[in-house]
Amino acid sequence: MVEAARRPDITAVLIAHVEQTMIGVSFRSMLAAVRVAAEAALDIEMLVVLDKPDETTREMLAEVDTQGARVLEVAYGDQALVRNHAVGESRGRFVAFLDGDDLWTENWLVAAHALCAAEPRTIAHPYADWVFDERRSLSLPPDQTDPQFDPATLRVTNAWDSLCLAPREAFLDHPFQARALEQGYAFEDWLWNLDTVRAGYVHRVVPDTIHFKRSRSGSQYRLASANQSLTRPTPFQDYAWLQEWEGTREGAPRTAAESSPLG
């Protein structure tokens, strides 16, 4: 086990599949955020994980080790399992994920780390998600401490994706669940959000940060949506459990800790 005093502050994880030339842009985005973090005296481990990459994607990342990144190649073909693998290989106190055709603002690591380091059991998300390419949209993820936020809405919609920064223990204690499209199960990020909310983690948004997310045909999200998939079973889908839980919250003031079912 890595001694606590020697652990990096953050492991920044870039996951690559078949993004081809776009993966180079994503790596440069991660590198810019890492450089800003280094200027803020944060120790960052860069981990690049290739999951069944094509040759162009592999070639685009052939020299990232010269920039200080550690490179791994796996053959899961599943976003959930490759994320779990990356967490197992990580050494940082916190882990931040970036997918291979997405981008961070360069202040992301510094700002998200500041929030999570100051508030234990916090999971950080960007203030805005900007979707580009085949589809275009701008969305503002909710902050769990907002008095207007009702966790019960997580039964029917996913509030946050997995491109977050969180304590490493959050990923170890609540690993992502593998997809099973033939059984109708997908959306591992949605299920992970439900699991972590139930465990008492608080999902927060980080002011002045944006994630730029590429929309493209053939993505795992598109495939899961076309398949009309759901998450694996969770207590959030149980009306009796939800009614009992909501009954315990009636009349109680909403705080960060109480925003979780177990708070």
Q: What is the pLDDT of residues 62-104, one digit of tens each?
A: 999 999 999 999 999 888 999 999 999 999 999 999 999 999 9
Query: Is residue 22's pLDDT more than 80?
Result: yes
Sequence ranges of the domains in the chain? 4-259
pLDDT surpassing 60 at residue 51: yes
pLDDT-derived band at 241 (thresholds 50, 70, 90) equals low
For 4-259, the fitting CATH number among 3.90.550.10, 3.50.50.60, 3.30.390.10, 2.40.110.10 is: 3.90.550.10
Lowest mean pLDDT segment, chosen from 52-56, 162-166, 176-180, 193-197: 176-180
Q: Stretch 47-71: mean pLDDT, rounded?
A: 96
Residues 6 or more apart from 94 whose CB is under 8 A from it?
9, 10, 11, 113, 116, 117, 165, 166, 167, 168
Report the pLDDT value the prediction gives residue 95, as an integer from 0 to 100: 98
How far is residue 110's CA from residue 96's CA, in Å, rounded to a whole number? Answer: 11
How confident is the model over 149-166, as a mean pLDDT? 88
| Closest among 224, 135, 138 to 178, alpha carbons compared | 224
pLDDT tens across 200-231, in order?
999 999 999 999 999 765 555 555 455 445 66
* Gap between the Cα atoms of 260 and 263, Å rounded: 5
Q: Is the pTM value of this prediction over 0.85?
A: no
Residues 6+ apart with CB under 8 A from 5: none
What Rg, from alpha-carbon coordinates, does the chain have? 18
